[in-house]
Structure 1
Amino acid sequence: MISTSGPLVRLSEATPATSALFRCGYAVPALAALAWWERRRLGAMSWRECRRAWLAGVFFALDLLFWHLSIGYIGAGLATVLGNLQVVIVAFAAWALLGERPSARIAVATPVVLGGAVLISGAFDAAPYGEDPALGVLFGLLTSLTYAAYLLVLRAGSGTGRRAAGPLAHATAVATVAIAALSPLFGGADLRPEWPTHGWLLLLALGPQVLGWVLITYSLPRQPAALTALILLIQPVTTVALSAVLLGERPSALQLAGCVAVALGVLYGSRPARQPALASSAQEGQVPNTSTV
C-alpha cells in the first residue's frame, strides 16, 4: 500500500510542501474516526503515549518534506529506495536505545539489502536517472534519518501494541501543523490545488497514509524494530516497479539486480527463529510472537 506513495506524489504534480500537507490533512478525519473507535474499546491514551506520538509527528513532517523534495530531484522509485536506507539506522538505534540486539539473520541480510539498495540507486550507472541526482541523494539521506526516528518513536508510543489508529492520528495531526509551519522553507504550499491534483492527494491520504500506516503502526510493537525496518524495504522494490509502469521510470539492469537482492534479503531476514525460540518460550511458559508484517 505505501509503495504507491511516490507515484501518487508525482501524479499529483503538486509542490513538495503541498503534497505533504494534504497527504496528512486529508488523512486526519479518517484517522480520528478510527482512533475514536479504538478509544471506546481500549480507553484513552496516556499522556506519555500522546507526547511520544506528537514527537513522532514532528519527525514524520520532516520525513515527508525531505522525501517529496527528493522525489522531484531523482524520481519516485529511487527516492523511495534512498528514503528506506533507514534499516541500518533503526537496527543500531534499536540496539543502543531499546536493547534489541539484531539477530544473526538480520545481521547477514542487512548488507545484502543495503547492497541491493545501492544498486537500485543507480550509483554505478553511467547516466543516472534524475533531474539532480546529487540533491536527490542528499534529501534521500535526510529522509532516512527522519524516517528512522519516526519509526522508533511511533513504535515506543504504541504502548503494548494494542493501539494503532490512536498514535497515528495524533502523529498525523501534529505533522499537518508542522508541515504548514515549515512549508515556507520548502517552497511554500498551495492551499487551493485544482483537480485532478485534489483527487491524487485524496487517494494518497486515504490509501498509503490511512490504511497503509494503520497496518504498519499495528505491526511495529509486535516485531523487533530492526526486523520491521528490514521488511519495510519491500516498499522501494515495489515502488520502482510501479514507477516504471505508471511514470515511465526505466530501471537499468543493475537496478533490477538490486531489486532482486533486496527481495532475497528481506525474505531471509524476516524468517523467524523456530526451535530455539519455541524451546525458550516453553521453559518460560510463554507463547513466542512470530507474526510478520
Structure 2
Amino acid sequence: MIRLLALLGVLGISFSAIFLRLSGVSPVTAALFRGLYALPVLVCLWLMTRASDTRPRASRIRAAGSGIFLALDLVLWHQAIFDIGAGLATVLINAQVIFVGALAWALYHERPSRTAMVLIPVVLAGVVLISGLGRADAYGANPVSGVILAVAAAAFYAMFQLQFRESNRTLAPPPGPVFDVTIGMTLGSLVLAAPFDPRFSIAFSWPAHGWLIAMAIICQALAWILLGIALPRLPALETSVILLSQPMGTVTWGWLILDERMSAIQAAGMVLMTVGIALLLVMGTVTGRTPP
C-alpha cells in the first residue's frame, strides 16, 4: 500500500510540466495560481490533521520561508519548460542532487563521498549534452537558455529542500507543512510577478485555468501529500528509484501528449545524467561530517 501511494504521488508530479505547457500561461502566472488553487484543498486537509501537527510557530514560519525558494525554482523551471521542453527541463531539475550535496558540505560539514566526486562530472557532462551543443536538430525554442534556467532552478530547489527539511524535524503530518510551503510559494510568486514576468496576468481564461487547477490539486496538493506519507516509510533505495521515475514519466508524457522529440545528442545526455543521478542516490553523496 505504501509503495502504491508513492507511485501515485510520483505519477501526479510527473504531469506538472505537462499541465504548464497545456495552459500556455506565463511562468509566474503558473506559479501563483498553482499555489492559489491548491490552498483551499490544503486548508481542508490540514484541518483534518491539525491536532497531530505539533510544530512550533518558528518551524511553521521557516516552512513558509522555504516556499520563497520554491517560488524562485518554479518560475525559472517554468521558463525552462518553454525553452527546452517539459521532459528535458524535468530531467535537468534533478541536478538538485549536486546542489544539495554542495550545500550540505558548506552548511553542515557533510563530506562528499568519493563516488560523488567521480559521478558529478558525469552528470554535468549529461547537462552539456542536453543543451544540444548548438546543433540544429536540438529540441526546444532555446535549448541553451533552457539548460541554464533549469540548472539555476535546481539550485533554488536544493535550497528549498534543505530549509523544508529543517522546518519539519518533528515529522508532522504532511498537510500542515505543505500548506505552509504553499503560502510562502504563493506570496513569493506575487513578489516576482512585476519585475520578472511581463506576461503575468491574473485574468481568468479557459481552458488555461482548467489546466492550472489540475496542476494545483493533483501536483501541488495531493501528490506532495502522498509522497510525504509514503517516502519516509520506504527504504532509501526504493525512494531513489521511485523519485527517478518522475522525470522518466514526464519525458514519456511529453513525447505522447506534446510530441516533444529530442535529438540523439540530447537523448544521450538525458541517459548519462539519469544514470549518474541514480548512482548518486543509490550509493550516497556523503561519507560523514568534517570538523567545522
Classify the TM-score, shorter chain.
Answer: 0.7 to 0.9
Q: Confirm or deny: 8 A CA contact 1:231 1:266 kept in the other structure.
A: no
Residue equivalent to 1:276:
none
Match of 2:182 in 1: 172
| Contact 1:82/1:121 (<8 A) preserved | no
> Which range moved further: 65-74 or 114-123?
114-123
| Corresponding residue for residue 22 of structure 1 | 33
Q: Distance in 2 between matches of 1:105 and 1:34?
A: 41
CA distance in 1, matches of 2:116, 2:221: 29
**Matched residue of 2:204: which SS?**
coil
User: What is the rounded CA distance, in whole Å, between the counterparts of 1:125 and 1:237 in structure 2?
Assistant: 24
1:148 alignment partner in structure 2: 158
Output the CA distance in 2 between the equivalents of 1:228 and 1:154.
18
Give RMSD over aligned pairs.
3.1
Rounded Cα–Cα distance in structure 2 between residues aligned with 1:266 and 1:222: 22
Q: Percent identity?
A: 41
Q: Structure 1 residues 173, 66: closer, same or farther in 2, change over 3 A?
A: same
Cα deviation, residue 104, structure 1? 5.6
* Further displaced range: 58-67 or 176-185: 176-185
The structure-2 alpha-carbon separation of the partners of 1:29 and 1:101, relative to structure 1 and needing over 3 Å to count, comes to: farther
TM-score, reference length from structure 2: 0.79
- Cα deviation per residue 1:72-106 (whole Å; 9 max; x = unaligned)? 22222222233332111101212332344445655
Task: Tell whether 2:55 aligns with 1:45.
Answer: yes
Distance in 2 (CA, whole Å) between partners of 1:99 and 1:161 is 23
Displacement of 1:203: 0.9
8 A contact 1:116–1:260 mirrored in 2: yes
Sort the Cα spacing of 1:162 and 1:222 in 2 relative to 1 into closer, same or farther, 3 A: farther
Letter in 2 for 1:154: F
SS at match of 2:168: coil
Give the whole-Å Cα distance in 2 for the aligned partners of 1:5 and 1:111: 28
Q: CA deviation at 1:143?
A: 0.9
Could you tell me which runs of 5 or more consecutive residues in structure 2 were left unpaired when the two chains were aligned: 1-11, 285-292
Which secondary structure state, in structure 2, belongs to the residue aligned with residue 85 of structure 1? helix
After superposition, the Cα gap between the structure-2 partners of 1:5 and 1:193, relative to the gap in structure 1 and judged at 3 Å, is same
Identify if the C-alpha distance between structure 1 residues 239 and 262 changes in structure 2 by more than 3 Å, giving closer, same or farther: same
Give, in angstroms, the shift of residue 183 of structure 1: 0.8
Q: 1:75 to 1:43 in 2, by over 3 A?
A: closer
Distance 1:69 1:2 in 2: 17
Aligned length: 271
The match for 2:265 among 248, 254, 258 is 254
Shift of the alpha carbon at 1:238?
Answer: 2.7
Residue 62 and residue 124 in structure 1: after superposition, are their counterparts in 2 closer, same or farther (change >3 A)?
A: same
Indicate if the aligned counterparts of 2:95 and 2:151 stay in contact, CA closer than 8 A: yes
Whole-angstrom distance in 2 between the partners of 1:238 and 1:143 = 20
Conservation of the 8 A alpha-carbon contact between 2:14 and 2:246: yes
Gap regions ≥5 residues in structure 1: 274-293
Matched residue, 1:67: 77
Q: What is the CA–CA distance in structure 2 between the aligned matches of 1:234 and 1:121, rounded to whole Å?
A: 22
Alignment-derived partner of residue 277 in structure 1: none
After TM superposition, list the pairs within 5 Å mapping 1:247-286 onto structure 2. Answer: 247-271=258-282
Secondary structure of the corresponding residue to residue 251 of structure 2: helix
| Aligned counterpart for 1:199 among listed residues 196, 202, 210 | 210
Q: CA 1:265/1:74 → structure 2, altered by over 3 Å: closer, same or farther?
A: closer
Aligned to 1:8: 19
Residue 131 of structure 1 and its aligned partner are, at CA, apart by 1.8
User: Quick check: 1:57 aligned with 2:67?
Assistant: yes
Matched, 1:120 2:130: yes
